[in-house]
Structure 1
Amino acid sequence: MHPDIEAWQAWDPRVAARRLAGLPAPWYVAAGWAIDLFTGGTPRDHEDLEIAVPSGRFALVPPLLPDCDFWVPQGEGRLVPLSAATLAGESHQTWAYERAAGRWRLDVFREPHDGDMWICRRAEDRIRRPYTEIIRHTDDGIPYLTPEVVLLFKAKAARAKDERDLSGALPLMTATQRGWLRDALELVHPGHPWLRVC
């Protein structure tokens, strides 16, 4: 049976961190939730929860979530069950569906990497950083993606919520973080409007 594609009731990042405790691979909360964890303020509304793992270590995730089935988005609102074929496809996303609840709980990004070196999937191997540099932690230990990398990904769409995330994060970022974001934007999105404020 195909789950309802709209049946999202995402876990809080703390639930995901508890469920993934002991995962022997670098992982982190990504996207909008990562900005909220960085700023430490009241979180905005989130439709889903995105986390990321190195693609070569994704197989370590499903055994920690035995109550979930994994599906891969194929575009145009279509999902297919996880298989070797879908893992080899173009999509980097993998949705976790909790069977008993009948709800989607998180979206696992399978990210390119070279060993312990993260590779930006939008930069054709031109942007690389060690996982130790891009993963930060909240005071209670939740791993999240450093804000300059989150904002690089958000720049592609630059929706209203992305603009809010930029405005919330920039004042708290270091000069080094802002400089990295400027350089990365120039490479991936030359002439992007955010370059004026970074």
Structure 2
Amino acid sequence: MQTDHWKSSSVNEIQILFQGAHIQWWIAGGWALDLYLGCQTREHSDIDVVILRDDHLTLHDYLRRDWELFKAHKGELIPWKHGESLPEKFDNIWVKKSGELFWSFQVMILDTEDHQWIYKRHRQIRRSLQDIGLESADGVPYLKPDIQLLYKGGSSVIREKDLIDFERVCSLMDVESCKWLKNALLVQFPEGHQWVDRLDERMRKGST
């Protein structure tokens, strides 16, 4: 199945669609950072939405009449059957309109425990669910920039667009967000991380 055929939904289309699902959700990825910045800073080839694992069956039931959903695992896309509860190894869902060839959006599933979000790459990194998101002026929920940048900086491969996103957003983040991101990166990478010096610089400027 082709993974490079995209006709990405817009932020507004996602907002309209997900408002009817009656679950918690947030825009993620590069679009989340652009919502934080208040403008689109670059082209986006796709759009990501995050939900809680507790809500994944509710979302499937809501979407299944008009959409086809596939669970991604180890490079393979497998049809997600209605009523099929997904174990923790499945956290990435690809979605397209029924009968169409092009993908519309991806859904990332967040694992939680005791009302806390858990960072899957290092389960010691956690945060209250009440403190993982913000809302745009148009009422669109999105992941906070420090959490989104952790996903980008914590990846095994940091892409050029991730570096550009980091530099744009770091210069505007407050000291507490920079401190949280720095500490989280050093938990995952105790030997150090390439973004730490830039975060330290931003914190020095932000505290003067």
Aligned residues: 194
State the 1:99 CA deviation: 1.6
Partner of 2:69: 70
Matched residues in 2 for 1:103 and 1:86: separation?
A: 25
Partner of 1:5: 3
1:50-89 equivalences in 2 (<5 Å): 50-65=48-63, 66-76=65-75, 78-83=76-81, 87-88=86-87
Matched residues in 2 for 1:100 and 1:60: separation?
A: 22
Letter in 1 for 2:162: D
Letter in 2 for 1:110: I
Unaligned runs of 5+ in 1: none
Partner of 1:103: 102
Matched residues in 1 for 2:121 and 2:88: separation?
A: 16
1:195 aligns with 2:193: no
Partner of 1:44: 42
State the 1:7 CA deviation: 1.8
Q: For each residue in 1:107-155, what CA deviation from the matched residue of structure 2 results, as whole angstroms up to 9, or x when unmatched?
A: 101111125321111112x122122211100000111000000111101
Letter in 1 for 2:175: A
State the 1:53 CA deviation: 0.6
Q: Is the 8 A contact 2:29 2:48 kept in 1?
A: yes
State the 1:51 CA deviation: 0.8
State the 1:42 CA deviation: 2.5
- Give the share of equivalent positions with the same residue, in percent: 26
Q: Secondary structure at the match of 1:185?
A: helix
Partner of 1:117: 116
Q: Is the 8 A contact 1:70 1:95 kept in 2?
A: yes
Partner of 2:158: 158
Q: Secondary structure at the match of 1:70?
A: strand
State the 1:85 CA deviation: 6.6
Partner of 1:34: 32
Q: Secondary structure at the match of 2:5?
A: coil
State the 1:106 CA deviation: 0.9
Matched residues in 1 for 2:144 and 2:176: separation?
A: 12
Letter in 2 for 1:90: K
Letter in 1 for 2:109: R
Q: Secondary structure at the match of 1:192?
A: coil
Q: Which has the higher contact order (CA 8 A, sep 6+)?
A: 1
Q: Is the 8 A contact 2:52 2:110 kept in 1?
A: yes
Q: CA RMSD in A?
A: 1.8
| Superposition TM-score, scaled by structure 1 size | 0.90
State the 1:13 CA deviation: 1.5
Q: Secondary structure at the match of 2:70?
A: strand
